[in-house]
Amino acid sequence: MQRMNQPISIVKPSGFRTSNNQIVNEKKTYDLARLRQEIAVADGYDKRLYMPLGVDSLDQALAGGLTLGRVHLLMGAMQAHGAVSGFAMALLDLLQHHAQQIKSKQASNRQTPAINDAGLIVWCPASQRNGAGMLYGHGLAAVGLDPARLLIVDTPNPSRRLAALDDILRTEGLAAVVMEYDGVQKSADYWMRLARRAQLAAEDSGATAFLLGAPIGIAGFETAWQIKPAADLDRWSHSALVQRSVWDLTLQRARGGRPHKCRVGWQAGLGQLQAYHHNIMANGKPVQTELPIADLSASQWPTQALAR
């Protein structure tokens, strides 16, 4: 990249050509993927179900929404593990609302594909040594998840936990599976094989899986996300205002879609995500958009759902 303070007359045009070529190539790749997906849908080969997230730019990048019955990778730094877990909770809440809407449509249209609307959610947390804390039933209910539908599988050994992923996904009656991996040092080939086995199991059962942890190889997963708390909102956090989380999301991989970056907020009880601009700070005060913004702690974890 050329220095910004260099006169235009001495800037070499090769850098601009390289940048433009990269943009054109990315657009061609995205257009080709979209065309293949549209052809597959028209021919009846694409049987995937999508859950719109309610953020237009994000749904466009996902080619319609989050794919159900697939395996999604949610990653973040260890000090921001709460942000990753909080975003997973938001997706589970959206999944519940989406299942209720599909169920109401099925009552009038028998040909609508069925999804697990009242199945259990299996959560395999990280070990107490490396995790962020235990899941707390009353807190989960406060953020919109029914504790009666949550089955916590405590497996301290992360390697054994991951080895059981495809077997758990093949269990009948599950709506979603959340698995945290902690302290696992594996090669990129291992993660790709794991993703492939888990994808096949999720396709067979219809359960949607979310893997939570530090950044790893993303090949083979349906989507791969980088999640971190909105840093410029941390100083305005307040322990009493825990109903709103704001995250900076980086969609690194989306099968049939394209990479994307955005800032979204989520409030328990509303069952929806909202998009926010990155420059929401002005004159030293938070700028209110459609709803007032109040983030969580630095980790962006819904603290009611966590018992230390």
Cα–Cα distance between 201 and 3 in angstroms, integer? 50
- Do 247 and 227 touch, CB atoms closer than 8 A? yes
pLDDT in tens, 253-276: 999 899 999 999 887 777 788 888
The CATH number covering residue 47 comes to 3.40.50.300
- Which helix (H) or strand (E) segment holds residue 73: the answer is strand 71-75
Per-residue pLDDT at 38? 57
Share of the chain above pLDDT 90, in %: 38
Cα–Cα distance between 195 and 217 in angstroms, integer? 10
One DSSP character per residue, 98-167 reads HHHHHHHHHHH-TTSPP--SS-EEEEEPPPTTTSS-EE-HHHHHHTT--GGGEEE---S-HHHHHHTHHH
Task: Specify if 6 maps to a domain.
Answer: no
Task: Specify if 164 maps to a domain.
Answer: yes
Task: Specify if 284 maps to a domain.
Answer: yes
Task: Specify if 33 maps to a domain.
Answer: yes
Cα–Cα distance between 229 and 252 in angstroms, integer? 17
Task: Specify if 14 maps to a domain.
Answer: no
**C-alpha angle 210-262-305 in degrees, rounded to nearest 5:** 45
Note down the domain range covering 125. 25-303
pLDDT in tens, 171-214: 988 999 999 998 788 899 999 999 999 999 999 999 999 999 99
Task: Specify if 60 maps to a domain.
Answer: yes
Task: Specify if 166 maps to a domain.
Answer: yes
Q: How many domains does the chain fold into?
A: 1
pLDDT in tens, 7-19: 444 445 555 556 5
**157 burial type by CB count under 10 A (0-12 exposed, 13-18 middle, 19+ buried):** exposed
pLDDT in tens, 209-255: 999 999 999 999 999 999 998 876 554 554 433 457 889 999 999 99
Q: Which residue has the tokens 């945290």?
A: 180
Per-residue pLDDT at 308? 37
What band does 147 get if pLDDT is binned at 50, 70 and 90?
confident
Short-list 223, 144, 209, CA closest to 176:
209
Task: Specify if 180 maps to a domain.
Answer: yes
Whether the pLDDT of residue 303 is over 70: the answer is no
Cα–Cα distance between 65 and 108 in angstroms, integer? 23
pTM given for the model: 0.73
Name the token pair of 34.
Answer: 């979209």
**40 burial type by CB count under 10 A (0-12 exposed, 13-18 middle, 19+ buried):** middle
Per-residue pLDDT at 52? 93
